[in-house]
Amino acid sequence: MSIKVDPSGRRWVRGEVEVPGSIEEVWRAISTEGGLSAWFTRSEFPKGADGKPTHLICYFGPGISSAAKITQWDPPRGFSVISDEFIPGGPEVSTDWKISEGADGTCRLSVEHSLFVDTDEYDNYVEGTEAGWPAFFRILQIYMAHHRGEPCALIEVMGAASDGAQAWSELATALGFAAVEKGERFAAPPGKLRISGVVDTVPDATEVILHVEEPTAGVAHLFVWPLNDQILLSVRFYLYGEDAAEVVSREDPVWRSWMEERFPSSQG
């Protein structure tokens, strides 16, 4: 992956994915709070007096958020935003979300980030974002294929570690997927945590996407996240169905207690 540079000076990266669904269904998955939160991050679309969205706010973890101003709103084809929070202390970055219709009931979603600077100083930030899209796109594919339009509730917990690889090994063992390959079933050993299902995707050595059956149907995305001078361990469940909110209210405290006991956030 590498950033591209136009003759105009625009530096940009683009992620693309093909997903099942009509253009209207994919539009709802990217342009509504419930839709975007069901596969990306907990998101909000504040509206103006005319009822149209004015901003997109994404929450990536405790105290970690990013706000962007909506500059174009073109349902059901896409929208554009611009943010001065994308790169801390850096230039504004614009992001274009675009949907095009494909064949056999599918659509192609592209997300493009661009900025105008005459230096490569900020390339690593943009390329890092590009590297993160494939995992979220895979979650979107699962959502659209198996849980399209269903209510979603989130469990989001985060811990800290001094050694990311060791923490990942402990987490994988505790949840029962340490020795499980892609496509194989896993289940946590008997104890406080209820989680089982199938290993869906292993993006790298300290990241996994699980298609879960317990505590209810959904997706779990777990990864080690070096952030500034911290090593964070992120666990996010996207739980679907009419009982999702009830399951989250029951299971969220259990996961928070377990993470704080094993990977206290004060370590960072």
What's the CA gap between 59 and 191, in Å, rounded? Answer: 30
The pTM assigned to this predicted structure is: 0.95
Q: What is the pLDDT tens value at each position of the chain, 268 positions in all?
A: 589 999 999 999 999 999 999 999 999 999 999 999 999 999 999 999 999 999 999 998 777 889 999 999 999 999 999 999 888 889 999 999 999 999 899 999 999 999 999 999 999 989 988 999 999 999 999 999 999 999 999 999 999 999 999 999 999 999 999 999 999 999 999 999 999 999 999 999 999 999 999 999 999 999 998 877 789 999 999 999 999 999 999 999 999 999 999 999 854 3
Which CATH topology does 4-146 take? Alpha-D-Glucose-1,6-Bisphosphate; Chain A, domain 4 (3.30.530)
Any idea where the domains of the chain sit in the sequence? 4-146, 152-263
Which CATH topology does 152-263 take? Alpha-D-Glucose-1,6-Bisphosphate; Chain A, domain 4 (3.30.530)
What's the CA gap between 71 and 33, in Å, rounded? Answer: 18
Are the folds of 4-146 and 152-263 the same? yes
pLDDT at 267: 42
